[in-house]
């Protein structure tokens, strides 16, 4: 070839040299399981909806979120966010405020009136769901999306279950609850209220193809406490239910709540709001051992609730309780010490856990009940084909989020069972560890704190305690996400390749490796902030 | 809560780009349309820091000069691996003459362009540390003292890598090379010799002297861009780790450069007319050991017996850099790592 004067080598002539043949390992873009997604009881793809929200595409982010969970505004208030406990950013500075961004998206959806897309397909199957709590409503939502005709029956006159009758409205305002339930009704789910199901068999015979039991656990556990005739002893579940019905019980000036779970905290805080001068929790173990969420405990203390750890109630009488001090033994169990004291109390509220009302299945064969809960297999199906169960009435952690997750899982399995197919179970990718990340590239950015009402001010009314984030703060918080195990297009791989072997495909499209030239050095893997590239051996 | 600026893109300015950054805030390397001055198919080793540094620097120079750049290359790895006859990886006007004369050739081209009235075309001279601090040092010093209009870039991998890892005057103390073997009572390269070329360049009081590494692309690009705004002799010294010569994993090239800066062993600064004008602060300080232990050329400091004395001497030189260039923020707290 003729070349211009003094030019001896053609531009791009080195491209003839395919250095990819040197390689023994190749980099591969992967999508790994971020710790947050892995920890979410409702199976949300947290990293994904944060990623979408990061450029301000809030509606798309919300739509991605509700693929897994129809209640972002509720979740953003009542979920104990196990995602944040495992967030990688927590190791770097502070966890991403996932819950607060979720609430922001949920509230924005209500404000803007975003609707759930109507299912196009009609399967022709009819499914009955018993219980309109988080589990039942979640199942109804997912089954409806899958094209089924869904009927939900509940004994109460309002839907929501424990979200309405268990969680006080200072934590979950009813407008929010109503709005998110209304969206499900708009999808064409039939909710029948005041429709207690006493006999499951009769309900099934009403021409349903499958049944999902989700009645929850709403009978307060009783403990035998010797008591005088005039002692006022109430049950926590009933107290919260009556408050919701506008029939707050008389608790008196000094209220003692017995128990260490979230219900105990809710009742103690509610008692304060009903006007009690003193609201005290008595619990036999320590704060560390208490099942209640620590954030809730903290909020209760801020509101003036007094907590007496390592104490049991031995005797109740009119206006006075006898308390025994406990001590933890070597195994961490509380043991009586024989030390007693008297405590003034106008009423004692028992919050010792809840049991499942099993009366509706009392004469229903094939269902196995163990430890007071219904046993189900890995597809959430009971011993009776076509009858599924979930939520608090099966063995599980009893939280709203777990219930929502059960509802989704049951819905997918009910769908598969009805269609004689199997649930598409993709192999779960490996969970990202902090060591897989390259935190150098993340600049320091502390967590944005949600504003809260002052403890003293909030304890006197039922106004919502924790406020939401405004748009700019929510955006900031979303952008703190480190995108563990999933590419967020930071261009590092494209930049650091000494061989120009990364092809940038453009916004939203990610990158490709040009294997003709990639020598397999692995710099892109080391310098990937989010651990989204792995080296894999070449086939020999 | 303190007021938080919401213009926060996940990785701040430490990553090369981000899908959310407007184009004018992204780095040049993040641009899919970058020059790719040194393109694929070159024969540098896996994980070559020099190939990376050269593309970073020249793409930035091309951007600053609107594509009108002539590069003059000294003999060395960069020249050999980029142009094995009849192939070339260069996508810019590029010229190679001899090992020792790149600054003189660059001077000549600069003079010719001035004579032709083509001062819009900019000249970049480049070479490895051998060509720069040893073999071409005389012509480089002449280029400096005449203040010829050339940006000279040294890609420093701290030895003659292409010919088999022989010591250069830029080889650091204690490092093992094929000519400073890890034997005897003072293994590796000796202390107290060698040349600190950025400081020698500063002594010429030329308009601009700067150091950079392949670990901080934005810093490197900013310095090339700054240098291209000036006329006269300018010098950029870029640390480019060499997996082969340093005995490091090919995937660790950028990480090692980063540790060199974060330990203080390689100070990153810029100077104008002989005075230091700024230094890049250490963000997450590490001891020199973090840097040394990733490299086989320092393996003799850790086995068979650990040479506390030598490690301490290297730490002392890092500490001297930190003090001399003010590499730590006064308020920085080493515990916040």
Contacts of B41 in chain A (CB under 8 A): 14-19, 517
Is residue A181 within a helix (H) or strand (E), and if so which, with residue range?
helix A174-186
Test B252 with A526 for CB contact under 8 angstroms: yes
Option in B87, B251, B254 nearest A13 (CB) = B87
| pLDDT at site B331 | 56
> Hey, which residues 75-104 in chain B have their CB within 8 Å of chain A?
82-83, 85-91
CA contacts within 13 A on the Cβ side of A388: 33
Q: Does B15 map to a domain? A: no
| pLDDT at site B19 | 84
- Cα separation of A74 and A404, whole Å? 11
| pLDDT at site A313 | 94
Note the helical H segments in chain B.
49-64, 77-82, 102-115, 129, 137-145, 197-203, 217-229, 243-246, 253-263, 288-292, 308-325
Chain A nearest CA to B273, separation (Å): 32
- Residues A13-31+487-537, CATH architecture: 2-Layer Sandwich (3.30)
Low-confidence ranges of chain A (pLDDT < 50): none
Q: Does B7 map to a domain? A: no
Optimal mutation site among A491, A502, A506, interface B, most CBs of chain B within 10 A:
A491
Q: How many interchain CB pairs under 8 A, A with B?
A: 181
Q: Does B258 map to a domain? A: yes
List Cα–Cα distances, A94 to A43, A320, A440, A446, in angstroms: 23, 45, 15, 6
Test A442 with B12 for CB contact under 8 angstroms: yes
Average pLDDT along chain B = 93
Partners of A354 in the β-ladder: A220
Give percent helix, percent strand, percent coil of chain A, each to the nearest 5: 35, 20, 50
What band does B6 get if pLDDT is binned at 50, 70 and 90?
A: very low
Q: Does B154 map to a domain? A: yes
Percentage, residues of chain B above pLDDT 90: 88
Correct CATH for A233-354 of 3.50.50.60, 3.40.50.620, 3.40.30.10, 3.40.50.300: 3.50.50.60
Option in B15, B82, B90 nearest A529 (CB) = B15
B184 contacts chain A (CB < 8 A): no
B112 contacts chain A (CB < 8 A): no
pLDDT by residue (tens digit) across B275-296?
999 999 999 999 999 999 999 9
Q: Does B46 map to a domain? A: yes
Q: Does B195 map to a domain? A: yes
Asked if pLDDT for residue B3 goes beyond 50, the answer is: no
- Cα separation of A224 and A432, whole Å? 48
| pLDDT at site B337 | 32
Mean pLDDT of B113-133: 97
Optimal mutation site among B21, B31, B40, interface A, most CBs of chain A within 10 A:
B40
Which residues constitute the domain of residue B235? Answer: 23-325
Option in B10, B43, B250 nearest A488 (CB) = B10
Contacts of B59 in chain A (CB under 8 A): none
Note the helical H segments in B90-241.
102-115, 129, 137-145, 197-203, 217-229
Option in B1, B41, B254 nearest A517 (CB) = B41
Residues forming CATH 3.30.70.20 domain(s) in chain A:
13-31+487-537
- Cα separation of B252 and B243, whole Å? 8
List Cα–Cα distances, A336 to A179, A312, A324, in angstroms: 48, 8, 7
Contacts of A10 in chain B (CB under 8 A): 86, 88
| pLDDT at site B9 | 57
B167 contacts chain A (CB < 8 A): no
Q: Does B4 map to a domain? A: no
Mean pLDDT of B39-60: 98
Q: Answer whether A47's CB lies under 8 Å from A39's CB.
A: no
Chain A nearest CA to B46, separation (Å): 5
Structure pTM?
A: 0.90
Contacts of A12 in chain B (CB under 8 A): 39, 91
Partners of A317 in the β-ladder: A320
pLDDT by residue (tens digit) across B241-260?
999 999 999 999 999 999 99
Residues forming CATH 3.50.50.60 domain(s) in chain A:
34-217+357-481, 233-354
CATH number at residue B83: 3.40.50.970
What band does B336 get if pLDDT is binned at 50, 70 and 90?
A: very low
Which is it for strands B69-73 and B93-96: parallel, antiparallel or unpaired? parallel
Q: Does B5 map to a domain? A: no
Task: Enter the ipTM.
Answer: 0.93
Which residue in chain A is spatially nearest to B13 when comparing CA positions? A443
Q: Answer whether B266's CB lies under 8 Å from B260's CB.
A: yes
Asked if pLDDT for residue B59 goes beyond 50, the answer is: yes
Which tokens go with A451?
A: 């504003």
Phi first, then psi: give them for residue A240, nearest 5 degrees. -65, -40
Which residue in chain B is spatially nearest to A471 when comparing CA positions? B6
Number of domains in chain B: 1
Correct CATH for A34-217+357-481 of 3.50.50.60, 1.10.3720.10, 3.40.190.10, 3.40.50.9100: 3.50.50.60
- Cα separation of A42 and A38, whole Å? 10
Contacts of A97 in chain B (CB under 8 A): none
């Amino acid at each position: 070839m003729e070349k211009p004067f003094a030019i001896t080598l053609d531009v791009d002539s080195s491209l003839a040299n395919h250095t990819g043949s040197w390689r023994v390992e190749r980099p591969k873009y992967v999508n790994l399981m971020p710790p947050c997604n892995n920890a979410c009881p409702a199976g949300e793809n947290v990293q994904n909806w944060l990623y979408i929200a990061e450029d301000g595409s809030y509606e798309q982010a919300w739509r991605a979120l509700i693929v897994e969970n129809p209640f972002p505004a509720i979740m953003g208030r009542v979920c104990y966010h196990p995602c944040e406990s495992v967030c990688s950013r927590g190791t770097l500075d502070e966890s991403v405020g996932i819950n607060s961004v979720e609430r922001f998206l949920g509230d924005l959806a209500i404000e803007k009136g975003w609707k759930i897309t109507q299912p196009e397909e009609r399967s022709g199957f009819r499914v009955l769901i018993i219980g309109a709590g988080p589990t039942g409503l979640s199942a109804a939502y997912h089954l409806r999306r899958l094209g089924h005709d869904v009927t939900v029956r509940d004994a109460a006159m309002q839907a929501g279950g424990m979200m309405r009758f268990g969680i006080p409205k200072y934590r979950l305002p009813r407008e929010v609850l109503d709005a998110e339930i209304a969206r499900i009704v708009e999808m064409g789910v039939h909710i029948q209220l005041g429709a207690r199901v006493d006999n499951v068999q009769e309900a099934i015979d009403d021409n349903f193809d499958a049944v999902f039991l989700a009645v929850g656990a709403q009978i307060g556990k009783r403990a035998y406490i010797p008591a005088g005739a005039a002692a006022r002893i109430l049950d926590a579940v009933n107290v919260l239910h009556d408050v919701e019905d506008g029939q707050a019980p008389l608790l008196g000036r000094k209220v003692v709540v017995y128990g260490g779970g979230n219900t105990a905290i809710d009742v103690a805080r509610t008692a304060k709001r009903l006007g009690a001068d003193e609201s005290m929790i008595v619990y036999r173990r320590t704060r560390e051992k208490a099942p209640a969420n620590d954030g809730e405990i903290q909020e209760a203390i801020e509101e003036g609730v007094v907590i007496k750890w390592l104490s049991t109630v031995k005797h109740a009488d009119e206006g006075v309780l006898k308390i025994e001090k406990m001590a933890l033994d070597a195994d961490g169990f509380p043991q009586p010490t024989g030390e007693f004291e008297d405590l003034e109390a106008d009423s004692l509220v028992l919050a010792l856990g809840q049991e499942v009302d099993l009366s509706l299945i009392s004469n229903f064969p094939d269902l196995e009940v163990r430890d007071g809960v219904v046993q189900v297999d890995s597809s959430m199906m009971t011993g009776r084909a076509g009858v599924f169960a979930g939520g608090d009435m099966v063995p599980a952690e009893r939280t709203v989020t777990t219930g929502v997750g059960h509802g989704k899982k049951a819905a997918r399995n009910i769908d598969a069972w009805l269609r004689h197919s199997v649930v598409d179970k993709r192999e779960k990718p490996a969970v990202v560890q902090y060591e897989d990340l390259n935190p150098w590239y993340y600049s320091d950015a502390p967590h944005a704190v949600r504003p809260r009402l002052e403890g003293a001010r909030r304890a006197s009314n039922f106004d919502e305690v924790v406020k939401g984030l405004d748009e700019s703060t929510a955006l900031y918080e979303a952008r703190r996400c480190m995108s563990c195990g999933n590419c967020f297009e930071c261009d590092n791989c494209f930049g650091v390749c000494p061989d120009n072997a990364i092809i940038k495909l453009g916004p939203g499209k990610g990158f490709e490796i040009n294997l003709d030239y990639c020598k397999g050095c692995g710099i892109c893997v080391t310098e990937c902030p989010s651990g989204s590239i792995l080296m894999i051996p070449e086939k020999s | 809560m303190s007021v938080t600026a919401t213009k926060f893109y996940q990785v701040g300015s430490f990553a090369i780009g981000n899908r959310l950054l407007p184009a004018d805030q992204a780095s040049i390397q993040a641009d899919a349309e970058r020059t790719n001055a040194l393109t694929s198919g070159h024969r540098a080793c896996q994980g070559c820091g020099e190939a990376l540094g050269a593309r970073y620097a020249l793409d930035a120079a091309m951007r600053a000069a609107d594509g009108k750049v002539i590069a003059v290359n000294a003999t060395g790895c960069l020249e050999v691996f980029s142009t094995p006859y009849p192939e070339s990886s260069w996508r810019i006007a590029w010229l190679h003459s001899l090992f020792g004369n790149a600054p003189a050739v660059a001077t000549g081209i600069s003079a010719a362009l001035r004579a032709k009235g083509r001062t819009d075309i900019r000249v970049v001279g480049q070479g490895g540390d051998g060509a720069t601090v040893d073999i071409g040092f005389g012509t480089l010093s002449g280029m400096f003292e005449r203040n010829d209009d050339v940006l000279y870039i040294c890609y420093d991998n701290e030895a003659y890598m292409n010919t088999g890892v022989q010591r250069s005057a830029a080889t650091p103390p204690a490092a093992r090379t094929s000519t400073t073997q890890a034997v005897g009572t003072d293994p590796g390269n000796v202390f107290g010799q060698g040349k600190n070329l950025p400081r020698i360049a500063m002594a010429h009081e030329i308009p601009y002297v700067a150091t950079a590494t392949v670990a901080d692309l934005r810093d490197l690009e900013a310095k090339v861009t700054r240098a291209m705004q000036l006329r006269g002799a300018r010098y950029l010294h870029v640390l480019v780790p060499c997996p082969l010569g340093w005995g490091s994993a090919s995937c660790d090239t950028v990480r090692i450069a980063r540790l060199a800066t974060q330990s203080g062993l390689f100070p990153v600064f810029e100077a104008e007319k002989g005075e230091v004008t700024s230094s890049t602060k250490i963000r997450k300080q590490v001891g020199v050991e973090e840097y040394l232990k990733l490299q086989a050329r320092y393996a003799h400091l850790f086995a068979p017996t650990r040479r506390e004395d030598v490690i301490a001497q290297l730490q002392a030189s890092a500490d001297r850099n930190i003090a001399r260039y003010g590499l730590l923020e006064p308020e920085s707290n080493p515990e916040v790592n």
